Amino acid sequence: MSGFKYTSTNKRYHTWDYYLKSVFGEKVAKISLDGGFTCPNIDGSISRGGCIFCSERGSGDFALEVTGENLKEQFQSAKEKIRKKWPGINKYIAYFQAYTNTYADISILREKYEAVLSLEDVAGLSIATRADVLDEDILEYLGELNKRTFLWVELGLQSSNDKTAGMINRGHDFRTFINGVRELRKRNIRVCVHIINGLPGESYADMIKTAEDISNLGINAVKIHMLYVLKNTPLFTLYENEKFKIMEREEYIKTVVDQIELLPEEIAVERVTGDGKAEDLAAPLWSMNKISILNDIDKEFVQRNTWQGIKNKKNPCKKEQT
C-alpha cells in the first residue's frame, strides 16, 4: 500500500473509481451516449473538419453504434452489457460523449438531458463539450441541473499551448478555455479536463506546462490521453506525409507520472491512457495493450516512491509515504 490519501488499492493517484465510491458508497458505471449533436468546428460555424485527430464520430467512438435508436434505447442496451460484466452495478452516469453536447438550442438540450435523467438508475449526468459553446442560457440551465443531479461537464483542452491548438485546428485559445472553466466553477459545476500527450510538435516541456496550467484552475478531474493516429483523419494524412514523432511507450509512461505528480491530490484522474479502436488505429500500436500500460504507470510510481500531488506547489505532501 502506498498510503496515498485517495486510494483503497495500490494506486498512487486519485482514481475515478475511488472517487465515485466515496460519493455513492458503491461502484457506479458510466454509459456513453450519442445525442445526435454536431460540432461548430465541423459544420463551419468555427471551422470545418474538426480537430485533426477526430474520427467521423467526433470522439464518440465508444458510444454505442446505434443509428436510429433513441437515447432511452441506447441507455438500456448499454446497461444490459454492463450488467453482464459487473452484475452488482445499480447506478449509472449518463455520458453525452459524441461531438459537442451543448451545441444546440436550449430547448433541445432540455429535451435530451431531461429524457435521460428520467430513466431508472441514472444517478448523474456527464456532458462533453467545448469551452467556447457555453453561452449564458446554457450556463444557467447547467447551474439548475447541478442542483438536481450529480452533474459533470467535460471540456476538451488537449494542450494549453496556443500554437499547438492552432495546429490541431482546435478553434479556440487557452484564454477562452480558462473563461469557460471559471463560468462553470462559479456555479459549482464539476469540471473534467481532457488533455493529450504526444501532439505533433509538442515537447516534453509543453506537456508538463499543460498539466501545470490545468492544476491551477480549480478543476475536479482530468483525463490524460495518448495521441493515437486513426485512419481516415487529417492527423493520419499528416502522419503519412510528415512522419512526425510518435511517443515511445516508456516516454509516455514517465510523462504521465510526471504530470500526475504535479496535480493536486483532490483531482480525480479518470484516465491515464486512451482507447483507439484496433481496426482504425495506425499508430502507436503499443497503445492497444492498455492493461500493461496501466500496470507500468503504477510500477513507475512505486519505483520513484512518489504519488499524485507530491510536486504540486499549492498542496505539498510533507509526510513520506512508503
Q: Give me the CATH number covering residue 20.
A: 3.20.20.70
CA–CA dist 99, 103 (Å, integer): 9
Residues 156 and 130: beta-carbon distance below 8 Å? yes
- For the chain, the domain total comes to 1
Domain that holds residue 81: 16-304
What pLDDT, in 10s, does the model give residues 247-285? Answer: 999 999 999 999 999 999 999 999 999 877 889 999 999
- pLDDT for the residue 211: 98
pLDDT above 90 for 226: yes
Q: Is residue 91 in some structural domain?
A: yes
pTM assigned to the model: 0.93
Q: Is residue 4 in some structural domain?
A: no
Q: Is residue 129 in some structural domain?
A: yes
Q: Is residue 282 in some structural domain?
A: yes
What pLDDT, in 10s, does the model give residues 52-110? Answer: 998 765 554 444 444 447 999 999 999 999 999 899 899 999 999 999 999 999 999 99
CA–CA dist 252, 204 (Å, integer): 10
Q: Is residue 274 in some structural domain?
A: yes
218: its cell numbers:
480549480
CA–CA dist 301, 307 (Å, integer): 6
Q: Is residue 321 in some structural domain?
A: no
- What is the DSSP code string of 111-175? HHHHHHHTSTTEEEEEEEE-TTS--HHHHHHHHHHHHHSEEEEEEEEE-S-HHHHHHTT--S-HH
9: its cell numbers:
488499492
Cα–Cα distances in Å, from 124 out to 32, 94, 121? 12, 6, 9
Residues 128 and 180: beta-carbon distance below 8 Å? no
State what percent of residues in the chain have pLDDT above 70.
93
What pLDDT, in 10s, does the model give residues 5-18? Answer: 898 888 999 999 99
- pLDDT for the residue 67: 45
What pLDDT, in 10s, does the model give residues 113-141? Answer: 999 999 999 999 999 999 999 999 999 99
- pLDDT for the residue 118: 96
